[in-house]
Structure formats: structure tokens, C-alpha cells
Amino acid sequence: MARRPLPRILSSGSASITRGREIARTAADNATDVLHPLITVTRGLRLLAGAGRQKWAATPRERRGHVLFLVAACVLTVALIPYGPLLALISVMGAAAWRGRERTPVRTGPDEAETARLRALYEALVPHFSAPDDPGPLFSHGGDWEKVFGTSYAFDGNGRLTRLQVTYPAYFTDGDPESRARVEQVLHAKSGRGREYHFAWDEESNQLLMTVLAALPTSIAAQRFVTAPGETVLGFTDADAVQRTVPVQDGDTGRDASPVIWRTGSRSTEPHLLIAGHPGSGSTTLMRSLALQALRDGDVLVVEGGGTGEYGFLAGRDGVLAVECGLAGALATLEWAAHETERRLIAANRARQAGHPEPEDIKRPLWLLLDRPSVLGHLAAADGRQDPQELLQVPLRHGRAAGVTVVVADQFDSLDSLTEAVRTHTRARVVLGPATREEVEAVLGTEPHTTPTADVPPGRGYTRLGTGPVLRLQVPATPDPYDPATSEAHRQAVLDLLPGAAPAVRERSEPRATEASPVHTDKLVATPAVAEG
């Protein structure tokens, strides 16, 4: 039996249906475009009505009568004024159109690039936060990164992480410094190099918070800081690291900055300071800053082992006992400092035994600033003479009771040549310049909670006072005012802090270190003999 062909309408029905759907979709789009203002006004009226119902429901019952009376009075006023109903209708339509407008949706989650970065970071942490026998691991290859990161993350405009909170398993050895260092290294590498990251470990809740630290300002120059007697500003740190602020002049504006205060004197637990850094790291800048602050109410004695004349501007100033660059002058000056420390101890002991206050001549603080004493130690060993550091034992051991403060600055490659007395009694430590975590830990006694960067400005580093936390530090700019490369603003700032009796002519800047040595040394060496007699 021959098969009959299908009717024409059935064979071409699919094409007609598709064409009809396209016509209907086009008509709907055109109608939406034409009726878009009406749709917007209708949506706005619905939103305004909903807000009115919520406002009416939130109004207490005893106040609803007053609200109704106020609304009726407004309606009556609008109805009586000329063109009032028309203006009211236009106002309501305008408010409805504004309320019902289409708003750009706010992005609540990461985009594709940020999601890929978070997933890659999650996969990189799997070997550190996973165990083979964990039945329900938080970290596993191909796992869900949202379980450990959640929504505690933030990105900058370039798509790099600025904040991330990681939830890690309880069996992770977060008390092991090496385990922590490995995780911090992975986060640092995957989040972007060239920035300084801070890691806060919360062992109780098994959470790690990583934040990107803003660079400390380098525009604060040498100035007279508002501090109490016995307080010295080493530099400035993050605002949330200390609880104190001081007013400073930052360029042409004044503001409050967070200082790192080092307390010296008889009540200090860290009476002496050790500064370590590479060449050009800013250790000499910090020494100059300390000398200018110490001259406000004390006497300063400077021993420069490098012989570069960085402290020549201090020679001849009131309160500067000596600025020594040679081995003979350094030995004579430090020997006088040891005798002076003993004299102060004896005078204070006799005064206490007699029931009298301490004499005035031992109340004035004495600062011993030694820049690169290892160089003088090598010269002394070659000449068969005594190492100048050996003369620091008495000031280091008894300096707190005698009002003597010792500050030693040297480079990393010469720290092994420091004597045991210097390493033991300098409990306040500062590390400046680019340094690895191992170098920072060797000086401060513990690793910093941040990632040191390879490129830092002079005067940037870390500090730790005794057993306190490790703080970031930026030393105030204190250049040599006699250096031709110093700007006029910085030169004037340093000169304004110098006490009186300045050199009369500029030519003394060349021989100032050698000429000042014999004059001051003769006076200082002769003083202890008179005191002991």
C-alpha cells in the first residue's frame, strides 16, 4: 500500500512556529521599550507604597491619629492652592520614577580573575594544611576554597590580594616557627612580591589573617619631638602597633604620628641599644637623630670607627664632649667614660648612705655613641693595643644606675666581632635596611611578623625593645648638614636642633674630627683623677 504524503501545513509547521516566536519576541521587546517609563513608574509606586506601609506599621498606635491629621492637613493644603493637585501628581510621579529606576547591581563576589587567584592560592596551601588520614579535610586538591576563605578577602584595583583570612585544620603545627614560615612564604609568593605582608596567627580559633601593610612615610625629618625626660624617639611605626602619638611636622603639614619610644635611665629595662644594618641602611642617620635628642638634656660622646666624618657637625657644640675618629683618641675617651661611670656610682652611693639627694653633676645623662667599633678593634689588634670594646664593660654593666647610655652601631658582617658584654647588655635592638628573616632573627631574637622586602628606603627596618614585640620602624630623616647632597630643608632642620657654640667658619668641617680630639681628650682624662682624689 502506497504511503500518503503528509499535509503541507504539518510539514512546514516547525518553520512557521519558529517565525512566530521571533515575531512575538520582537513585539514584546518593542512593547517593553515603549512601556518602559510606565513600568518604571509602576515599580516606583509599588516601592513607595511598601515603604509607606512599613512606616505606618512602625508608628506607635498612640501617634497614628496625629499622623493621619498631618496627612489630611497636607492633602487639604494641596487641594486649595492653585495647581496643587497637578503639582502633587507630578511630584509623586517623579519620586516614583526615581525610586523605580534600574540600578547597577553591586558586585558581591570575586570576578573570574580573582576566583582563579583564590583557587590557585588554595591549591598551593594543600600540601601544608592537609594530612592523608584526615576523613574530612579542609584542604584537598580540587576542593572547595570557599570553606577556608569564606568572604574574608579583599582585592585592590590591580586585582591583587590586600587581605585574606585562612581557616586551617586544628592538627596544623601553628606553634612551630618553621611551619609558619613555610605557609607565610607561600602566601607571600602567590599574593604578589614587592609588598610587605603582616601575618596574625590565632591559635585558639585556627585562623590566619594576612594583610598588606602600607609603606611607612619617609617625609618626617629631624625635629624637636614632644617627649618626657628619659624618652627618645627611635622612629615611627604603624598606627595600630603602639598606643601613643606625638605631633610631628610632616613636610608642610602637621599631624599625629605613632612613635617608637625608647626609655633610658635608672628605671629602664633596656638601657643600651644595638643597631645593625648593611652599608647605606641608615644606621648613621639613626645615630645622628639620637645624638640630637640626647643633647637636649645630656652630654654626648661620639666614637666613629669608619672615619668618614659623618659626625663632624657636632664638634665644638655645647654638650658634645668629644668626637673621636682615631684609635688613640677613642681609647682615651672610653677610658674616661669608664672612670666617669665609676665616679658616678661612688658619688650616688655616698649620697644615699648619707641620706642626701644625688649631686647635680651626676644627674645629667651621658651618652656614648659608637659607630662601627669593630673597625677600631681590628686596628687595635694589628697594633697590639686594647680593643676599645673592652672599655665598655663598666658603662654597659653599671650604666643604668649611673645615668650612662651606650649605643653601638655596626654592620651585619662585623657583628661576630662584637664582645660578649656588648651583645649581652644591649637589650634594645634595631635592624635597618634590606635584611632576610634569618638576619633579623639573629639580631632581634625572633622573626618578624611581616615579610621583609628587598628594596627599602634608608632608615626603614625593625626594632624590638627587650622581650617586646617586633615593630616596623622608619627613622626620621637626619642627614649630615655639611653634606653637599643634603637638601636645604633637611640641613636647616638639623642645624636648628644643634645647641650653641657652633663653629664660626665652614672650613672647620674638614679637620673638625681630628682637631677636637686632643682638646676634649685632655679635659676628659684629667677629670676622673680630680674626682677620685
pLDDT score for 92? 80
How many angstroms separate the CA atoms of 520 and 316, rounded? 9
Average of per-residue pLDDT values in the chain? 84
The reported pLDDT for the residue numbered 115 is 87
For residue 9, is pLDDT > 50? no
Q: Does the pLDDT at position 532 exceed 50?
A: no
Q: Is the Cβ–Cβ distance between 431 and 273 less than 8 Å?
A: no
In the predicted model, what is the mean pLDDT of residues 17-36? 68
Binding residues: 277-284
Task: Compute the average pLDDT of residues 419-436.
Answer: 93
Query: How many residues does the structure list for the chain?
Result: 533
Lookup result for grid cell 604578589: 192
Question: For position 231, what pLDDT does the model report?
Answer: 94
Eight-class DSSP state of 457:
-
**Residue of 79 and 201 predicted with greater confidence:** 201
pLDDT tens-digit map of 206-261: 999 999 988 898 999 999 999 999 999 999 999 988 999 999 998 889 999 999 99
pLDDT at residue 471, rounded to an integer:
93
How high is the pLDDT of residue 530?
33
3-state SS class at 246:
strand
pLDDT, average across residues 302-319: 90
CB 140 within 8 A of CB 209: no
Does residue 519 carry a pLDDT above 80? Answer: no
Q: What is the pLDDT of residue 48?
A: 81
For the chain, give the percent of residues with pLDDT over 70.
86
Domains of the chain: 112-213 (no CATH), 231-532 (3.40.50.300)
In Å, how far are 186, 265, 402, 482 from 364, measured between CA atoms? 52, 10, 10, 29
C-alpha cell of residue 12: 512546514
Residue 201 — φ and ψ, nearest 5°?
-95, 125
45-60: per-residue pLDDT in tens?
888 888 888 888 888 8
C-alpha closest to that of 260 among 459, 424, 15: 459
Q: Which long-range contacts (CB under 8 A, 24 or more apart) does 522-525 make?
A: 524/321, 524/322, 524/332, 524/333, 524/336, 524/340, 525/332, 525/335, 525/336
What confidence category does residue 43 fall into, taking pLDDT thresholds of 50, 70 and 90? Answer: confident
Is the pLDDT at 189 greater than 50, yes or no? Answer: yes
Asked whether 428 and 262 are in contact (CB, 8 A), the reply is yes
Does residue 308 have a pLDDT over 90? no
Cite the annotated binding site for ATP by residue number.
Answer: 277-284
The pLDDT tens digits of the residues spanning 478-513 come to 999 999 999 999 999 999 999 886 555 444 444 443
Q: Would you say residue 5 has pLDDT above 70?
A: no
Binning the chain into helix, strand and coil, the percentages to the nearest 5 are 45, 20, 35
List, for residues 384-415, the tens digit of each pLDDT value: 899 999 999 999 999 999 999 999 999 998 99
User: What are the grid coordinates assigned to 60, written together?
Assistant: 506607635
Residues 351-359: what's their mean pLDDT?
88
Instruction: Specify whether the CB–CB gap between 313 and 482 falls below 8 A.
Output: yes
Higher pLDDT, 11 or 140: 140
**How far is it between the farthest Cα atoms of the chain?**
146
Q: How far apart (Å, rounded) are the C-alpha atoms in residues 487 and 125?
A: 48
The residues pairing with 450 across neighbouring beta strands, listed in sequence order, are: 198
The mean pLDDT of 179-189, rounded to a whole number, is: 90
Secondary element (H or E) of residue 411: strand 404-411
Strands (E), 179-337: 196-202, 207-213, 231-236, 246-250, 253-257, 259-263, 273-277, 299-304, 320-324
